[in-house]
Amino acid sequence: MLPALIALVGALVYGSADFLGGLAARSLRSIVVTAVAAIAGLVLLLVAYPFVGGQWIPADIGWGVVSGFTGAAAIVLLYACLAIGPMSILSPLTAVVSAIAPIVWGLVVDGETLSWVGCAGLAVALVAVVLVGFIPGEKVVRPSARGLLLAIGAGLAIGAFLIVIDQTSDESGLVPLILNRSVSSVITLAAVGVIAVIAVRAGRGAASILPPAGARLGATPTGHADLEHAVEEAASTRVATPLRRAFLLTAACGVVDAVANVVMLFALRTGDLTIVSALTAMYPAGTILLAALVLRERIAGVQWLGLALALAAGAMLALA
Residues 184, 221 contacting (CB under 8 angstroms): yes
Q: Among 53-67, 127-141, 149-163, 192-206, whose mean pLDDT is lowest?
A: 127-141
Q: Among 80-84, 126-130, 270-274, whose mean pLDDT is lowest?
A: 80-84
Instruction: Please provide residue 219's backbone torsions phi and psi, each rounded to the nearest 5 degrees.
Output: -120, 145
46 or 139: which leads in pLDDT: 46
171 pLDDT tier (thresholds 50, 70, 90): very high
Helix (H), strand (E) at residue 204: none
Does residue 235 carry a pLDDT above 60?
Answer: no
Residues 303, 288 contacting (CB under 8 angstroms): yes
Cα 125 to Cα 77, 135, 156, 230: the distances in Å are: 24, 18, 18, 24
Peptide bond into 176 cis (omega under 30): no
Residues 40, 181 contacting (CB under 8 angstroms): no
Which residues fall within 8 angstroms of residue 319, CB to CB, at 6 or more apart?
1, 115, 117, 118, 121
Residues 136, 302 contacting (CB under 8 angstroms): yes
Does residue 91 carry a pLDDT above 60?
Answer: yes
The share of the chain scoring above pLDDT 90, in percent, equals 27
CA–CA separation, 11 vs 218, rounded Å?
16
40-80 pLDDT per residue, tens:
999 999 999 999 989 999 999 999 999 999 988 888 887 77
pLDDT (mean) for 260-289: 87
Residue 306 identity: G
214 or 2: which leads in pLDDT: 2
pLDDT at position 139 is 58
12-31 pLDDT per residue, tens:
898 888 888 878 877 888 88
Phi-psi region of 306 (alpha: psi -120 to 50; beta: other; left: phi over 0): alpha
Q: Which of 58, 130, 136 lies closest to 91 in space, CA to CA?
A: 130
Give the domain ranges of the chain.
2-318
CA–CA separation, 21 vs 37, rounded Å?
8
pLDDT at position 232 is 47
